[in-house]
Structures are given as C-alpha cells and as structure tokens.
Amino acid sequence: MSDTSLTIDNILAPELTLCRVAASSKKRVLEFIAEHIHEHDSSLSDTQIFNNLVSRERLGSTGIGQGIAIPHCRLEGLSHVIGALVTIEESIEFDAIDNQPVDLVFALIVPKEATSEHLELLSQLAEKFNERAFCDRLRQAEDAKTLYERMIAGNS
C-alpha cells in the first residue's frame, strides 16, 4: 500500500454525514444519498448516482446484516472516491442477507476505473461495521457532527 491509499477518513466529508434521516424505503434512502452527493458536488448527477446505486442493488442487496448496508457503485467521469454515512430514524427493509431491517448506511461512489481501491474500501468498511460496539456508538449519535467524529475516530 502506498501513502496515498484510500481510507474511510479521507473519503467521508462532514457534509455527507447525515444523522437520523427519515426514510420510508431503500429507494428513498438511495435517492436521499444521491441528492446529498449532488448538493455537495453539483458537477455530479444525482439521477446518475441513484440509477447506478439501484442497478448495483439489482445484482444483489448490499445489506450486509446486523442492520447495516454498504450500497456502492462506479460512476463515469468521477475523479475521486466519495463516501456518505447515514443513520436512519426508523429501520427500513433492505433485503439484507440476514433479512433484518437496516438503520446504518455507508454509501461508496467510486470512479469507473477504480477497482482495487473500491474493493479495499469495501473491505475496510465491512471490517469496521463488523464491530458491534462501533456500530452501537454510531447509532447512538444524536447529530451529524457526533456521527462524523465517531466514524473517523473509529477508523484510526
């Protein structure tokens, strides 16, 4: 690994960390994430992000179990990796592998050609979210600032 290897703390912006979002469905959460990424960087199309996330979900749910989902997709013309962390006010159905509803979502949008980085980040995320105490701390965050700090602190 090089010094420029991607880590969660250098792809997640505070503006893309959203706490206790009201969402009624998987589709709505993916729309919400796409809209926020577009607000953060208006050169990116929320429609394209949403469609790519939905296309990836059609291949198989990104709900990894224990109330956690890591939706991800590749995006044409993107020059850097974008992460978005969302906690959901009331758990939603996500077709997760354990059939449990989801309330913790980390979306990952990567450049079209970023394959090894993509897999490395997915691996890092899955490892972090495998720690129940870490997930509990994220779920207990009352605001976006606290959620962001806990996500970053948990990554060091």
The catalytic residues are 72
| Residue 3 domain flag | no
> What is the chain's pLDDT, residue by residue, as a tens digit (156 residues)?
333 567 888 899 999 999 999 999 999 999 999 999 999 999 999 999 999 999 999 999 999 999 999 999 999 989 889 999 999 999 999 999 999 999 999 999 999 988 787 788 888 898 999 999 999 999 999 999 999 999 998 754
Q: What pLDDT sits at residue 155?
A: 56
Provide the domain count of the chain: 1
Q: Look up the pTM and report it.
A: 0.93
Name residues whose C-beta falls within 8 Å of residue 142's C-beta, 6 or more positions apart in sequence: 19, 20
| Residue 106 domain flag | yes
Cα 88 from Cα 83, distance rounded (Å): 16
Range of the domain at 116: 11-152
Q: What pLDDT sits at residue 28?
A: 96
| Residue 5 domain flag | no
What Cα–Cα distance (Å) separates residue 57 from each residue in 17, 54, 61, 105, 134?
Answer: 21, 5, 5, 13, 25
| Residue 6 domain flag | no
| Residue 112 domain flag | yes
| Residue 2 domain flag | no
Secondary structure class of 37 (helix, strand, coil): helix
User: Which run of H or E residues covers position 126?
Assistant: helix 115-129
| Residue 61 domain flag | yes
| Residue 44 domain flag | yes
DSSP-derived pairing of the beta strands 63-65 and 68-69: antiparallel
* Residues 108/6, Cβ–Cβ less than 8 Å: no
Residue 30 tokens, joined: 């993916």
CATH code at position 33: 3.40.930.10
